[in-house]
Structure 1
């Protein structure tokens, strides 16, 4: 029997923009409407913006709203008062403090911290933010609590201070259990003690399958909806998008691109020592069954914007993208090392920089030099080639840690799928078959899908386009040249 259609709202709080989606679910998923707004700088502004966007989108629903799901980026959040009122600017993952993180690592040990949390980058974490503010004598800390970006939205909707395990895992204050062991239901007393904190200052952790609460009467009035609608913390944006695209079993993977690019692999039994060495995060997938291995390039989409503003300023964006699409099918003898602010994974290197490399293919030596911009389309193609090779390298490193990936790789919208040249280069340089999620906002829509799954038991997947799929074996020689230029000590690419 065909299930009766259900409508749901989804929120995706991103680094640059916050997206809201209205989805109708039945046999499949239909994105009825989406809305994207700039992510504000303060917690109270974020709450107001999301409520306004939800109200605007909900008006178009052809069915009563069955549930609301909230996904967000990791690490970013806000100090709040004991009553949940946000205090000041958002503390963002991109504003991490390396000096404070270095002191934390020196005191505890990098492997010890990673074994406990699965987080390889402590400078981005709320725990490090809190330590820095304490060292600065920030007056807000006296009776302060913490809510992540997801928690700020959920609090505005339900009045509850709640998060889920995938987002709690990004704080460095939540203990990651061994593979197969139950998830923790609270933030960790010992980890929080490193900053002189206690779990009562952090939100309640709901486990997979649970809801965060129900829409309050005041929030319902603000949205023009009935009160009591279930609200779900869908989870960390990349994990939500991967689940929505059908990456739910070991060997499945999804590539998610926004300001950052993340490659998420569903896995089992990954060595924590080896994962830390490669700068990859370990957590659990949104349903709690398996591990997720996450490799990231924090400035992927940002590098494309940098190219247009700094490398080829004044170039006509449309024309350059069209020309780059043609070049993407030609010889690829140059690439840019795509590291605006160091390399997170594989082979982490905080000193890695943006450089142009002319690859050796005929016995000549590869060479690195500053990026030139005499030919805007060629320069952009070199940037996009570097980004595609970085993805191929992350993919190969994950296969070494977690075993072979299944042939199909889901690509979740964003500039990595909508930019024709970038998409073509990924198809050429990443092994397997790449399929794009055929929706505008896969994470926001995925949050709506997870909400309906939790409250009504309906399991759906995003539509994945097969119109332009091709099977590729990648370009091992070019990938080897890329790895040797990026990290000469690396001897293997797969």
Structure 2
């Protein structure tokens, strides 16, 4: 039996079929094209996203001789749109997670409840990224747009297109700022507080639960037979953590893409002032009866992408990036880079924070700036690690790392040196896609639970990186006295320009 995973990401849409041991049968990839309004606000076209998925399915299904037992769908978490419940037609474009269009609405929401009280219900610190702020903005623009509509994440939308049913999972529902994570239920009092319809959100289910089966003849033309169970696998970072087995308390997962996210698991609990003060965000894990904690860097790989575009007449190739990385001497560059090209995330969420280089000299070259960017993202990772340690009450000295950034071994060594962590890098190019397929396996009964699924996955190679202690202590001083010492002044300065 084969398992089919679908992943709707910030830069690419993917579909892949896998065997139940995690080995790849076939994968297809299409670019996720962002469009922009005249005001510079990003959006995705629903037809583009669905077209990407059908194109991927058309490519991979002829290569799969085995019967597909289930389909799992994952996506970027806070990206969503409104769909008409009766016609099934989109009423809006997708608003991406990184769109800042609802900043004003997020500030208005902040005034409507005590932040600690809201955190204890949602696990979140209020942000423009979450669905609630985007929905309120859409209502301001068109008063009746919510009548008979349902808010769907990108995963939910693809699941609807496959099955005709509306549903989400707990991990994606938790990124709306309207879901009670301890109750696994929509907060209807909070929703009504903003005069929003009771039926605005879809049914929320445990990840791995069947939400419907494939229906249409269009899918049969793509090689997808009728009656295949479909599940909303959940938040992309969480299903990737499942794929690498980082799903128990103490196991920490570092996902390095355009954004970088550090994730850990904890048993489901009542959140307190300790968790609130950490600055870390929490939510429902794809693993039953567990929460996740999360800290993020919104422009980690994004900083390197910015460098590729700005420091060359033509966009640098990745080989050129590696060649530049190899030119610099070992040890700290002495330059401080703050990776806030898109503001800062947990544990110090601040949409008004800005990126900065500090400590430049005339002798510095492009390669020095590149190394400083790698160091700056690692300093930010260290701030997340320390906040998580204080919250969890135990040492974090190991991480499992996946994503495009792991291909740069210079960068990974810097991360290890700064955090003083042992890094394990599985040879796994598509952890998120595999995680979606694994969740499909839970849905179809191939695996009994998440732990059994994670154990079934076979890895051929693991790369291990250990910290250089001499460089760690040099970085430690730069982090504590430089990076953190100057940060508050920079944040306050940019806050004054709001």
CA contact (8 A) 1:372 1:379 kept: no
1:19 aligns with 2:20: no
Distance (whole Å) between structure 2 residues aligned to residue 299 and residue 402 of structure 1? 26
Deviation at 1:144, TM superposition (A): 2.1
**Counterpart mapping for 1:50-449 below 5 A:** 50-83=53-86, 84-96=88-100, 97-137=102-142, 140-177=145-182, 183-184=183-184, 186-268=185-267, 269=269, 271-314=271-314, 316-317=316-317, 318-327=319-328, 329-358=330-359, 375-405=365-395, 407-414=397-404, 416-449=405-438
TM-score (norm 2): 0.86
CA contact (8 A) 2:16 2:24 kept: yes
Q: Which runs of 5+ in 1 are unaligned?
A: 1-5, 178-182, 359-368
After superposition, the CA RMSD in angstroms is 2.5
Distance (whole Å) between structure 2 residues aligned to residue 464 and residue 99 of structure 1? 49
2:32 to 39, 44, 47: 39
Deviation at 1:237, TM superposition (A): 0.6
CA contact (8 A) 1:71 1:234 kept: yes
Structure 2 residue matching 1:90: 3-state secondary structure: coil
Aligned length: 465
Q: Which runs of 5+ in 2 are unaligned?
A: 34-43, 448-452, 492-498
TM-score (norm 1): 0.87
Distance 1:348 1:272, change over 3 A: farther
Distance (whole Å) between structure 2 residues aligned to residue 78 and residue 331 of structure 1? 44
The C-alpha deviation readout for 1:179-204, integer Å capped at 9, x for no partner, is xxxx42x4221122133223422211
Distance (whole Å) between structure 1 residues aligned to residue 91 and residue 201 of structure 2? 15
CA contact (8 A) 1:14 1:72 kept: yes
Distance (whole Å) between structure 1 residues aligned to residue 313 and residue 369 of structure 2? 12
* Partner in structure 2 of residue 364 of structure 1: none
Deviation at 1:310, TM superposition (A): 2.5
CA contact (8 A) 1:279 1:345 kept: yes
Deviation at 1:467, TM superposition (A): 3.5
Deviation at 1:272, TM superposition (A): 4.2
The C-alpha deviation readout for 1:283-330, integer Å capped at 9, x for no partner, is 121122222111011122221111122345547443342231353734
Deviation at 1:121, TM superposition (A): 3.4
Deviation at 1:431, TM superposition (A): 2.5
Distance 1:285 1:325, change over 3 A: farther
The C-alpha deviation readout for 1:57-99, integer Å capped at 9, x for no partner, is 2221242212111011111111111232212311122113111
Distance 1:351 1:328, change over 3 A: farther
Structure 2 residue matching 1:467: 3-state secondary structure: strand
**Counterpart mapping for 1:465-476 below 5 A:** 465-470=461-466, 474=472, 475-476=475-476
Q: 311-320 or 67-76: which moved more?
A: 311-320
CA contact (8 A) 1:79 1:86 kept: yes
* Partner in structure 1 of residue 52 of structure 2: 49
Distance (whole Å) between structure 2 residues aligned to residue 400 and residue 442 of structure 1? 28
